[in-house]
Chain A
Amino acid sequence: MMSSQHPGTGILSAMYGAVRALQLYPLENEVVKRGLVEVKEQADSILKLEGGLSIWVAGNYMFVNDLQVKLDLHDYASLSAFREVLRSHGVGRMEASPKSSAEDWQAFLTLIAADPEPGQPPLEALQAELQKNGVSRISVGPPSAMFEGSDAQQSAEAARHTYTRSVKVARDMMEGLVLGKAIGARRAERAVLAVVDQVLQEPATMLGMLTLRDFDDHSYVHSVNVAILSVALGDYLGFNREQLFELGFAALFHDIGKVLIPPAVLNKMGWLNDEEWRLVSQHPDFGLLMMFSVEGSEDLPYRAMLAVYEHHMKPDLSGYPRVIRRRRQGLFARIIALTEAYDAAISNYSKQFLPCSPDEAIRQLREAETGAYDAVITRAFVNMMGIFPVATLVILDTGEMGVVVAPNPNPKSLSRPLVRIIANSDGERVGDGPIRDLTERDPETNQYRRSIARSTDPERYGISVADHVA
């Protein structure tokens, strides 16, 4: 956990505290008054020191005066909720001048505390309201192209690049191991840090890569997928970048022990016999031992070793390998156990099971037997992914077909993601159509304009969902 509070954390926390108070109480309430005073004090302190105050929302990042405020778990709930408040109003940046008054802050916070009016662009509505209220010393603007990646094409290509290279690294290293070569830490390190950067920058795009079907090397693809999912979940839980790196490294190698299992066994269609199962169930053992052959790093990757070894254990230490000397299953292993299960469920490389849709995989995780996975981490994972995860192909009740491109910014709307329309209700393909927020309501009926009727199988329609995610 981060030990010292970022200077920007104070103002963000204060603003969210005031927004929450305004959502619950009238202006005269003491809690509201205290909240507004706190915001003014925090803002004044920054304004005095730095001459200006700007807040930027960029992907999972928030910046205060150009300095990134990393959300750790302690602040995660409040700060990420505040981030979503800003996003729900279409705010990507907010600036306050040194002359901003308590009245300005009160008006601004009151406006963003209310839900945006449906049926009109939220940012424009907010700007109009600010102007109407005479707030000129606090301004809001759209997300910066610099942060939000206005060039979706470039962003998608970058994600593909990272993904493809990571698969290559995974393949080369694992094939090298079969030939008795050591694992080169530097290549693996570079691959993982690229994954971490990409996930932090464009989490949805990177999660969309999970559905890429361009590779035959299923086990390497699985390793990279699990790394991406694990890093995304770690970020959601509030890991810092270095911790995400360690987690990604562990996830990339979680199945490394499988290189010692004959392909005939790994790729066997149908159920394994006892001897085959005995062999397969030893892959965490093999993995632990193989991780000692990582070369080029000063420190042995102990935490990754444990994650590799423990990722098929259960939180109560059942599962495999058997534990003789009792200890706790590590957090990394619990995360990887979950992300691996998810990826295995949605992918078509399992020889024992048919792949399912991402939403079905999420449903299965929600219903998984008690004790199979860490219950709280599972809930966090579902919250992160949404009920309809990124890259789910869905049919809307309008008859349109779309691809989920992001969970809804409002954490309360887990089943109403942002969906890119790729076919209209006549079944006509439209390429990259518009992105629709499924929380959007018809102002006349107050009914949702669109809802997901069902998810479906992209292969049935010959659709590469990854092409439409970014």
Chain B
Amino acid sequence: MTDQTSDTESSSEFVDTAADDELARLVEETVNALLKAVRSRQTYVAGNPLIEKFYSELCVKLAATWQELPDVSLEIDEGRLLWRDREVYSKPVAPDNFAFRFFKDGIRQLALLPGVEEGELAEFIELFARSRPAHDDDLLATLWHRDFKAVRIDYVDIMEDDGSEVPRPDRNAGAGDTLEDMTEIEAVLESGTVTEEAPDEFSDIALGEPDLLYLKREMEVEWARPIVHDVTLALLDQFEMRDQERRRQVVDILRELLPRLLAELDFSNVALIVNELQLLANKTGENETQELVTSLLRDMSEAMAEMVSVVDAEGLSPGTDELAALVGALQAEAIPTLVRAIPAVPNRQTRDRLAEALDRLVESNPGYVVDLLSAEDPMLAAEAARIVGRIGLHEAEPYLVELSNRPEDVTRQAAIEALAILGSSVGAEALSTALSDPGRDIRIAAVKSIVAVRPEGASALLAEIIGGSDSADRDQGEQMAFMRAYAVLAGDEAVPLLAKVLNGRRWWGGRRAPVTRACAARALGVVGSPTARSALEKAASDKAAPVKSAVRVALKSFNNDSDERLEAAVLPEDDERALVDDPLDLDIEIEDTTGKEGSS
């Protein structure tokens, strides 16, 4: 074992007395204070007052120590700390033994010097507390790299000391022997004294002020060098100028490097890599290279999409060009991530770019989004359904139908809406079923869809629901949606039922609830036929204000042509509030209105 440094000097040379119990006790107390400070840092989270308390106590101890000693220099044994051969700390050897933590890494001496309290002590405690013996953290390397000025260590080479003998210099080698070959020496002696050098003999190597400035600048440039960027450039050079085998090696490295760069939010280099690789792949025109690059981008797509989305939420979005490069490089593997993440991306620019990328990817890789319709995550499946609808992916209809049967409202609604947009007969049955869905929003979505798809038998089904006994349990918005849809689909054939709702009496003589009747009135307005007018006129002087008002508006709509009426009946896409808008001054509280049936 060899000492590697010697700048830690035992303080023993400063004190002549060999054993001084009082001083040893002082050092022991200081060591104990140090241990408490370390343990408090290990035990409590930063900011805890106990950390400050124990640290202050340590500083007090050190201040007292500096009155007596020039330093605290401790020899480190396996489980003990010694000061001038006196034990000042001893515990059974264990991973958490303070001395052992140093010893196991080869540290054999630890010295604290005056001034350590001015910053380095706190950092030393922090480093020690953070080092994890279980993770094989190297305390020596940690302390060495920190290069404290007032905390000094001596260490031995434990890692390489395998007991083998290191050759020792032979200082007396050949002493007494005479050199066998004297030719050179004799020649030198013959030629006499060497002429003194000319003063300017070494002017070519003198370092002048400009040289020193150059070196200083070069060092500044080196420490500021974008080393990751330059490594990236080197890898890309290798990819470009070497053979397929090298390209494969580079791609293998990039497969490891890219996630690391993403994790470090180094979008600039990620963008550079994906851009350049795509350009190079196209430039070579070789299928093998293109496949290599594509395979890498496929592997990276999910991570890239994830990082772009996640960091955007932290306000750390990539720059415009970087974003374009990243998004442009995304492959189908990014679809699930994009589908999940886009709705949560707060930055509109980022969100739009990601959405564009998603549409591009889905159009050429519809299978991915269809697969997502079966995703366990209801939000993901619902989002996939919306995308399917948006891009008109008819092949997804069977999966949408399945989705419309899932227990989560969000998935069923999204499925229904998508089926509506697709408007094909495959989904008609599902739409019809959805009219009786337990979820109110889903029923409304379904009825909207029915209007769009017009499946066979839909008007009969709507009539059954409107005339059914539980119709009045639905709120005004829903009733309005159903009746208007019925009016649109059945036309004049809807008049008998709607007229019955508006004007009819129940067996006990009571009418339906005013809100229900008002909805019927509006629906009759949509029909716009003479029979509808006739039904409306019967209710023109109804005592219920909502009914009277609705009838007035409906009759007024007879002045519009039929297209305008139908247009008015088309249900707004996203806002069912419009369905229950109250142009008739019905004083209906939208959220609270239940339209429960009652007598009048």
Contacts and interface: CB of A to CB of B under 8 A. Distances in A.
Interface residues of A, number: 104
B141 A330 contact: no
A116 B228 CA distance: 52
Contacts of A351: none
B237 A325 contact: yes
A193 to B, nearest CB: 5
Contacts of A422: 174
A407 B7 CA distance: 23
B166 interface: yes
A93 to B, nearest CB: 13
Contacts of A158: 2-4
A27 interface: no
A431 B173 contact: yes
A46 interface: no
Given A158-B2, A427-B185, A429-B177, A289 B249 contact: yes
Given A237-B219, A330-B222, A306 B205 contact: no
B179 to A, nearest CB: 4
Contacts of A447: 193, 196
Contacts of B4: 158, 162, 194, 197-198
Contacts of B21: none
Given A157-B168, A190-B141, A239-B219, A289 B159 contact: no
Interface stretch (B80-88, B142-150, B435-443, B543-551): B142-150
Contacts of A377: 215, 218
A153 B171 contact: yes
Contacts of A383: 205-207
A77 interface: yes
A397 B115 contact: no
B253 interface: yes
A265 B238 CA distance: 23
A84 B227 CA distance: 37
A108 interface: no
B588 interface: no
B153 to A, nearest CB: 11
Contacts of B241: 321-322, 324
A139 interface: no
A379 B159 contact: no
Contacts of A193: 141, 144
Nearest to A68: B149
Contact of A467 (B136, B170, B185, B238): B170
Interface stretch (A267-275, A342-350, A458-466): A458-466
Interface stretch (A28-36, A164-172, A217-225): A164-172
Given A158-B3, A190-B157, A467-B169, A1 B189 contact: no
Given A162-B2, A289-B249, A366-B205, A376 B160 contact: no
A418 to B, nearest CB: 16
B169 A470 contact: yes
Interface in B149-189: 149-150, 157, 159-161, 166-182, 184-185, 188-189
A353 interface: no
B242 interface: yes
A444 interface: no
A105 interface: no
Q: Max chain A CB contacts within 10 Å: which of B188, B194, B240?
A: B188
B234 interface: yes
Interface in A287-341: 288-289, 292, 300, 302-303, 305-306, 309, 321-325, 327-328, 330-332
A178 interface: no
A189 B159 CA distance: 11
B159 to A, nearest CB: 5
A160 B250 contact: no
Nearest to B196: A448
B188 A397 contact: yes
Interface string A141-183: 0000011010001001110111011001100000000000000
Interface in B204-256: 204-207, 211-212, 214-216, 218-223, 225, 227-228, 230-231, 233-238, 240-242, 246, 249-250, 253, 256
A303 B227 contact: yes
A160 B207 contact: no
B53 interface: no
B215 A237 contact: yes
B160 A460 contact: no
Contacts of B256: 292
Given A157-B166, A189-B141, A383-B207, A321 B237 contact: yes
B237 to A, nearest CB: 5
B171 A468 contact: yes
A242 interface: yes
B202 A414 contact: yes
Contact of A325 (B174, B177, B236): B236
Contacts of A462: 174
A245 B242 CA distance: 32
A463 to B, nearest CB: 7
Interface string A226-248: 00000000000111111101000
B6 A376 contact: no
Contact of B178 (A160, A332, A428, A460): A428
Contacts of B168: 157, 160
Given A288-B234, A401-B179, A414-B202, 8 more contacts: A66-B70, A73-B215, A74-B216, A186-B159, A201-B5, A240-B147, A241-B147, A395-B185
Which 4 pairs between the two chains have the least Cβ-Cβ distance?
A: A431-B175, A431-B172, A451-B194, A165-B160
25 contacts: A66-B70, A68-B149, A153-B169, A157-B169, A160-B169, A164-B167, A168-B160, A190-B141, A197-B4, A285-B246, A302-B228, A302-B231, A324-B240, A324-B241, A331-B218, A331-B221, A331-B222, A380-B207, A395-B185, A414-B205, A427-B178, A431-B173, A461-B181, A467-B170, A468-B171
